[in-house]
Amino acid sequence: MTAAWRSQPVNRNLAWVITIIFVTAALLFWRPFGTDDNDEEQQGYSEIKPDFTAQGLIVRVYGVNGELAHRIAAEKMTHYSPIGLTELTAPTYIVQLDNNGPIWQVQAEQGSFYADKSLVLERNIEMISLSESEFIDRIETSYLTIDTLDESVQTDQPVLIVGRDFTAKGEGLRADMRAQTLELTRHVETIYTGGSTTDN
C-alpha cells in the first residue's frame, strides 16, 4: 500500500510537467498573441512601393562645363528612393567624354541604376560606337556594369568585339572609356578579314 501511495504524487508531478511542455510548445507554434501583421512582414519581407513609374523618361547628366556627359533613356523607369534604385526597361545609355571624343551608346533589355551611380545592364547588351571612323564598331555581351562616375565598364561574361574587318572573342572585359582602352580578361581568338577576300 505504501509503495502505491508514495508513487501517486510522482505521477501527478509528471503529468503537470508534460502539460506545461505541451502548452508552451503550442504557444510557440501557433503564437496566438502575435500582432496582426501578416506572415510576410514577420519574415522581414515588406514590399517597397515605387516612388514613381515613368514611361519614355530621359535622364541627362551634364559635366562641370555644361557639356552633356551621360544620357539614360528607357521605355519604362521605376524608382525606389528608399533603396536608391531605378529599374529600367529597354535602357539606352549614351556617353560622350569630351566634346569631340568618341560617343558610345549601350543598349540592353534590362537595367538597374543605383544611387552610387553604377548602372547594371542585363541581356542582349550592345555597346555601339556612334563615331564615324571608329576602330571598334560594337561590343556584345550578356551582363555589364558601368560605373558612370569613373566611366569604366566591366563584365566577366563572354564578349564579342566587332571592329572594321576584325572580330575578337574573349571572356571578361574591362574598359576605361576615358582612356579609351578595352582589355579582354581571357582572349579566345581574333580574326582579321581585312586583306582577304574570303570571309571567315
Residues in touch with other proteins (CB under 8 A): 102, 134-136, 161, 163-166, 168, 170, 179-184, 186-187, 189-200
* C-beta of residue 109 within 8 angstroms of C-beta of residue 90: yes
> What distance in Å separates the CA atoms of residue 172 and residue 25, rounded to the nearest whole number?
54
Give 150 or 199: the residue with its C-beta nearer to other proteins.
199
Give me the least distance between CB of 147 and other proteins, in Å please. 18
Give 74 or 139: the residue with its C-beta nearer to other proteins.
139
Give 27 or 191: the residue with its C-beta nearer to other proteins.
191
Give me the least distance between CB of 183 and other proteins, in Å please. 4
Backbone angles phi, psi at 8, to 5 degrees: -60, -50
Which residues on neighbouring strands pair with residue 87, listed in sequence order? 78, 112
Give 38 or 200: the residue with its C-beta nearer to other proteins.
200
Q: Which of 124, 126, 125, 128 is nearest to 137 (CA)?
A: 128
Give me the least distance between CB of 197 and other proteins, in Å please. 5
Q: Where are the alpha helices (DSSP H) in 31-176?
A: 39-42
